[in-house]
Amino acid sequence: MSFHFIKDQDFPAFLSGLIKARTVVGPVAKTSRQQEKFVFARLTDPAALRLDYDVTILPPKKEFFPPKQNLLLFDGPRVTPGIEPEEKVLFGVHPYDMKALDMTDALFREKNEDRNYTAHREAATVVVSSVQKVSPRAFWASIGTEVKPKGHDAWLTKVAGGCVYEAVTAKGEALLQHGKFAAASEEQKKAARRADEEAARQCPEKLQGTSASNAKKVRAAFSREELWTKFAQDCFSCGSCNTVCPTCYCFDVQDWWHVDQNTGGRTRTWDSCLTEDFAKISLGAGAQENFREERAERFRHRFMRKAAYLNEKLGGPACVGCGRCSAACTADIADPTAVINSIPEA
């Protein structure tokens, strides 16, 4: 672990060097009707990188677990796996998203390791960037605080006059060669810590209670149907909350043919447990069984998953407080702070 400093005026050259040497993915702006939003995209122009972004529409997991991914391709009876990992630098991941990445790492790795994810993940160098601008629905400072961001290769923090770059792994260290770095002073390191603390203070939303107390009360509320029915009254089952979630990792698998009718593929696509058909099976003769038929049941399932079910496995809740679901829900009923705070203690 080593701390470095790069001056503001040297930063563009560092990025240019990096982009020349490696595939670099980072936050860039996207606009509609003059409204600015952010997405992770491949960088060609260093000036496009927006480390002052508040939150991206989709979390960075899409780099390793894309919305659509071919698991297998076939040509008649010949079956080919679709794993083709690309070495890349994922630059500017916010700490809350890093926590989430570490969770999806663990979930794809456990039991039966899924190389379709882990091979891509291992080929990447991930550089965290401290939050410079807090998004309007963020609550990352008050959820799962016992779980710290890990799994990153470097951590970049904007301070006066430049950035502090903490190289955490050899992969993170290797990026230093592309820029003009000096050793960071104690003062600069302190300034970086202060910047993180200041950003945390600015989170506009707050989850009350501890991870354990919230897990307990959410679980205890399971059978309170009236509560979930009320929460889910305006739910569209549209899956937006799942689809933008950095810790959601469910997927559907479908096969398809090319027009030649001989070649094709088996493709996984992000799936959402909020959508009506998620837990439906056919029983034959037109009969079906849906294990979560009511939208209140599906709404509840998401909160159980986020606040309780996975806590043991992940060491904390499967929610990192990015606020994407709150912002993506047009009915504004998905906000974990609003829902969990309103559930009475068990």
Partner 1 sequence: MPTTTCACGGKAAAKDVKDNIFLPKEAKIVRVEKTTEMERIFTLRLADESQMKFEPGQILEVGLMGYGEIPLGLASSPTREKTFDIVVRSVGRVSQALNRLQQGDTLLVRGPWGKGFPLENLRGHDLLIIAGGIGLCPTRSLIQYALDRRKEFKRFILFYGARDPQQQLFLADLADWRKSQDVEYHETVDRGDPTWKGNVGVITSLFSKTKIDPGTRVVICGPPIMFKFVIRELEKLGVARANIYLDLERRMKCGVGKCGHCQINDKYVCTDGPVFAFSEIEHLEEAI
Partner 2 sequence: MAKPKVAFFDFTCCEGCQIEFTNYGDPVFLELLKHVDVVEFREAMSEKCREPLDIAFIEGSFSREADRPRLEEIRRRAKVVIAYGQCAATAGINALKNHTSDYRKFVYGKDAALPHLDSQIAVGVDQAIKVDYYAYGCPVNKYEVLQIVSHLLHGKDPVIPNYPVCVECKRRETICRFDVGDYCLGQTARAGCGAPCPADGIPCEACRGFVDKPNHEALVKVLDKRAGMPKGWARHKTRMFTANQRGDVK
Site residues, partner 2 (CB under 8 A): 30-33, 35, 37, 39, 56-58, 67-68, 233-240, 243-244, 254, 256-261, 264, 269-270, 272, 275-277, 295, 327-328, 330-331
Question: Looking at residue 59, what DSSP letter applies?
Answer: -
CB-side exposure of 111: number of CA atoms within 13 Å? 3
How far apart CA 101 and CA 6 sit, in angstroms, is: 26
Write the interaction track for partner 1 spanning residues 111-130; mark x where CB under 8 A is met and - where it is not.
Answer: xxxxxx--x---x-------
Q: Which of 171, 216, 266, 294 binds partner 1 (CB under 8 A)?
A: 266
Q: What are the two backbone dihedrals, phi and then psi, of residue 250, each rounded to the nearest 5 degrees?
A: -70, 150
Pairing of strands 88-93, 124-129: parallel
Q: Which stretch binds partner 1 (CB under 8 A): 89-97, 143-151, 175-183, 266-274?
A: 266-274
Task: Say whether residue 106 binds partner 1 (CB under 8 A).
Answer: no
Q: Which does 239 bind (CB under 5 to 8 A by kind): partner 1, partner 2, none?
A: partner 2
Q: Which does 215 bind (CB under 5 to 8 A by kind): partner 1, partner 2, none?
A: none
Q: Which does 44 bind (CB under 5 to 8 A by kind): partner 1, partner 2, none?
A: none
Q: What are the two backbone dihedrals, phi and then psi, of residue 72, each rounded to the nearest 5 degrees?
A: -140, 150
Tell me which H or E stretch contains 22.
none
Q: Which does 236 bind (CB under 5 to 8 A by kind): partner 1, partner 2, none?
A: partner 2
* Cβ-based neighbour number of residue 161 at 10 Å: 12
Q: Which stretch binds partner 1 (CB under 8 A): 152-160, 168-176, 195-203, 284-292?
A: 284-292
Task: Say whether residue 223 binds partner 1 (CB under 8 A).
Answer: yes
CB nearer partner 1, residue 34 or residue 112: 112
**What distances in angstroms separate CA 307 from CA 19, 59, 66, 143, 336, one per listed residue?**
39, 19, 25, 10, 9
How far apart CA 158 and CA 160 sit, in angstroms, is: 7
Q: Which of 14, 108, 165, 303 binds partner 1 (CB under 8 A)?
A: 108
Query: Tokens at residue 229, please?
Result: 């029915």
Helix, coil or strand: residue 83: coil
